């Protein structure tokens, strides 16, 4: 009987791997963040829920919030986000800014502030204008983007866009993204057991940690509840987007018809151009 694995993007499974095993999270972040060779992560500090800013009215799908320090003493936040919404970027910006500001204690000067990185992985596509799945944002000078204002950096990864160029790619970033993208019941298949993927001990341990057999019946029930909750929230967001798109199209149609009428076109000409009936056009022209 094939081994069953839980989806590591779901709260309970993600916490089992990255919330309880610091060395795995450190490997994960060193692989995904744009850190220099001499700036790799050395220590992690898990933030308690009380330290994580909550914004009312937003979906809270962040799974593990951590503050990390690298070899240079820099600090950054990690947030795991499963959904994309119009307020997502604002929330990440708010959280990263909070982490930056909270470093400054009484009696310290601004020179003591360390940069903050915010990392977010999404299970939905949010940037359809590019096939790129890895997005690194910095604060730069408009006409000289090489001049960076140090302080805040953001990395967004769109998991649905990720596809390894080779199944034998040995880079840790590829291995961890395959783990996040391909493992779990929702993928419809078990992980590829090829040696190139499993030869790293961290990946091998992460796979063992998300085996369904490693969870109790109560934990598995909670896991499926979390999946159902995520699906409901995703449906709500999609419905909201569809409604907003329909409203936007209707408003654009009204504006177009009124502009045609204002330019001197009669009802027959407008009907020929738009395909609308005479009565529909009259209704749209009514203030």
Between 55 and 123, the more confident residue is 123
How many angstroms separate the CA atoms of 96 and 115, rounded? 10
| Least confident interval from 6-15, 47-56, 170-179, 258-267 | 47-56
Q: What is the pLDDT of residue 4?
A: 87
Closest CA to 126 of 113, 137, 115: 137
Going by the DSSP 8-state scheme, the letter that residue 165 receives in this structure is: S
Q: Yes or no: say if 24 and 206 are a contact pair by the CB < 8 Å rule.
A: yes
Is the confidence at residue 83, as pLDDT, over 80?
Answer: no
Q: Give the rounded percent of residues in the chain with a pLDDT score beyond 90.
A: 26
Structure confidence by residue, pLDDT tens digits, 128-158 = 899 999 999 999 999 998 999 888 889 999 9
pLDDT band at 213 (very low <50, low <70, confident <90, very high): very high
Question: Same structural domain for residues 170 and 40?
Answer: yes
Q: Which range has highest mean pLDDT (87-101, 102-116, 159-173, 214-228)?
A: 214-228
Asked whether residue 4 is domain-assigned, the answer is no
Q: Average model confidence (pLDDT) for the chain?
A: 78
State phi, psi for 20 to the nearest 5 degrees: -120, -5
Residue 8, CA atoms < 13 Å, CB-side half-sphere: 27
Q: Yes or no: say if 14 and 64 are a contact pair by the CB < 8 Å rule.
A: yes
Range of the domain at 89: 11-215
Is the confidence at residue 59, as pLDDT, over 70?
Answer: no
Is the confidence at residue 178, as pLDDT, over 80?
Answer: yes
Between 260 and 119, the more confident residue is 119
Task: Please identify, among 215, 234, 254, the residue that sits at the C-terminal boundary of a domain.
Answer: 215
Question: Same structural domain for residues 62 and 172?
Answer: yes
Q: What is the pLDDT of residue 22?
A: 92
Question: Same structural domain for residues 244 and 106?
Answer: no
**Sheet with 134-141, side-by-side order of all strands:** 41-46, 66-70, 75-80, 116-122, 144-158, 134-141
Please say whether the dihedral angle defined by the alpha carbons of residues 244, 127, 88 and 187, taken in this order, is positive or negative: positive
Question: Same structural domain for residues 80 and 29?
Answer: yes
Q: Which range has highest mean pLDDT (66-70, 89-93, 124-128, 156-160)?
A: 156-160
Asked whether residue 256 is domain-assigned, the answer is yes
Q: What is the pLDDT of residue 78?
A: 73
Q: What is the pLDDT of residue 54?
A: 43
Question: Same structural domain for residues 95 and 199?
Answer: yes
Question: Same structural domain for residues 121 and 73?
Answer: yes
Number of domains comprising the chain: 2
DSSP string, 100-123: HHTT--TT--GGG---EEEEEEES
Q: What is the pLDDT of residue 214?
A: 92
Q: How far is CA 236 from the centre of its chain?
A: 17
152 burial level (CB within 10 Å; 0-12, 13-18, 19+): buried
Question: Same structural domain for residues 166 and 224?
Answer: no
Question: Same structural domain for residues 169 and 272?
Answer: no
Q: What is the pLDDT of residue 203?
A: 94
Closest CA to 121 of 90, 152, 92, 150: 92
Task: Please identify, among 189, 215, 241, the residue that sits at the C-terminal boundary of a domain.
Answer: 215
Q: What is the pLDDT of residue 66?
A: 80
pLDDT band at 32 (very low <50, low <70, confident <90, very high): very high
């Amino acid at each position: 009987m094939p081994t069953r694995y839980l989806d590591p993007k779901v709260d309970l499974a993600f916490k089992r791997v990255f919330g309880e095993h610091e060395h795995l999270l450190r490997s994960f972040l060193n692989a995904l963040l744009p850190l220099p060779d001499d700036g790799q992560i050395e220590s992690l500090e898990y933030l308690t829920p009380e330290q994580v800013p909550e914004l009312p009215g937003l979906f809270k799908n962040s799974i593990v919030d951590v503050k990390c320090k690298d070899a240079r003493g820099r600090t950054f936040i990690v947030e795991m986000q499963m959904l994309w919404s119009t307020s997502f970027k604002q929330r990440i910006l708010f959280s990263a800014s909070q982490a930056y500001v909270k470093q400054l204690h009484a009696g310290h000067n601004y020179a003591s502030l360390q940069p903050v990185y915010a990392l977010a992985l999404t299970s939905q596509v949010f940037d359809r204008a590019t096939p790129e799945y890895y997005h690194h944002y910095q604060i730069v000078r408009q006409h000289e983007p090489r001049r960076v204002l140090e302080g805040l950096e953001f990395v967004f990864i769109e998991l649905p866009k990720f596809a390894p160029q080779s199944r034998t790619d040995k880079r840790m970033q590829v291995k961890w993204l395959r783990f996040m993208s391909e493992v779990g019941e929702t993928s419809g298949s078990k992980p590829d057991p090829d040696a190139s993927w499993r030869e790293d001990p961290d990946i091998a341990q992460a796979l063992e940690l998300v085996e369904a057999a490693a969870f109790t019946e109560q934990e598995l029930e909670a896991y499926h509840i979390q999946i159902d909750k995520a699906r409901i929230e995703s449906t709500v967001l999609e419905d909201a987007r569809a409604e907003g798109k329909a409203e936007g199209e209707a408003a654009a149609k009204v504006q177009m018809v009124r502009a045609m009428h204002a330019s001197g076109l009669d009802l027959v000409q407008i009907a020929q151009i738009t395909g609308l009936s005479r009565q529909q056009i009259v209704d749209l022209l009514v203030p």
